Amino acid sequence: MTDWPRRCAVVISCFNEAERVGPVVTRIRQHLPSVIIVDDGSTDDTAEVAKMCGANVVRLPENGGKGAALRAGWRRASELGFTWTLMLDGDGQHAPDDAPMFFDCADRTGARLVIGNRMVRAEAMPWVRRQVNAWMSRRISALTGAALPDSQCGFRLAHLETLRGLALMTNHFEIESEVLAAFLAARQRVEFVPVQTIYHAGPSRIRPIPDAWRWWRWLRSQHKARAGAGRAAAPLWTRPRSNPAS
């Protein structure tokens, strides 16, 4: 069994989350004491609040996007000697008390990537977000040849050496899709665990037009890579090691 408190660091990308990041840090530290907050160019007191709650804060000079911020967090976690990272959002939309399910799944299955599945309890998710998420998950499932129930959930446990060894290029919200596809391409086991679905009132950090365009551009690049390899009619990875039913 893995000594998760010693081997795993939490990495949270935050942009202007001073009002909500404090309780998230406090609650997740009940499961993992080491929390790395990447302040992605915030203009509020996100960094100060996180520090007061016991987080190790990495401050980026300007907002570079979730993907860029997460990579900075993974780098810090590796420098500190951790071998795993648990990722969740800083706005309170992931329940820290769900964390033990990720650890149990990784120990039980040997998965190198464990992703939260909100679609088991999707009623709390806004209808439009639920439909878009399901549609995107179907597209990535078709691309990879794996049944992926919630490809966009940012609540994840990942093996750091494997994660940092992947050729990841995206800087924004499309990082969720890229990481999942890259783990499957590398023949790494991917598992899903059911998690709570929590939504707060207020504006989303997702910007529909630019973020949708970036995601489409990433998906097209994956299809072009497949076609260039002479497998235009087949999934990129036909036998992924995943078990969405977990």
Give 143-159 pLDDT, tens digit per residue: 899 999 999 999 999 99
The model carries a pTM of 0.87
**Who's near 131: CB < 8 A, 6+ residues apart?**
none
Tell me whether residue 239 is in a domain.
no
Tell me whether residue 234 is in a domain.
no
**pLDDT above 90 (res 187):** yes
d(CA 211, CA 214): 5
Tell me whether residue 150 is in a domain.
yes
d(CA 2, CA 164): 20
CB 105 within 8 A of CB 111: yes
The predicted structure's pLDDT at residue 19: 95
Tell me whether residue 245 is in a domain.
no
Please identify which residue in the block is written with the tokens 């040849």. 145
Tell me whether residue 236 is in a domain.
no
> If you compute the radius of gyration of the chain from its CA atoms, what whole number of angstroms results?
17
Instruction: Give the strand pairing for 156-159 and 242-243.
Output: unpaired
Give 217-226 pLDDT, tens digit per residue: 878 888 777 6
Tell me whether residue 96 is in a domain.
yes
Tell me whether residue 117 is in a domain.
yes
| 10 phi, psi to nearest 5 deg | -80, 135
Nearest-10 crossing angle of helices 175-185, 66-79: 60
CATH number assigned to the domain comprising residue 223: 3.90.550.10
Residue 170 sits in which domain range?
4-228
**Domain total for the chain?**
1
Give 151-185 pLDDT, tens digit per residue: 999 999 999 999 999 999 999 889 999 999 999 99
Tell me whether residue 154 is in a domain.
yes
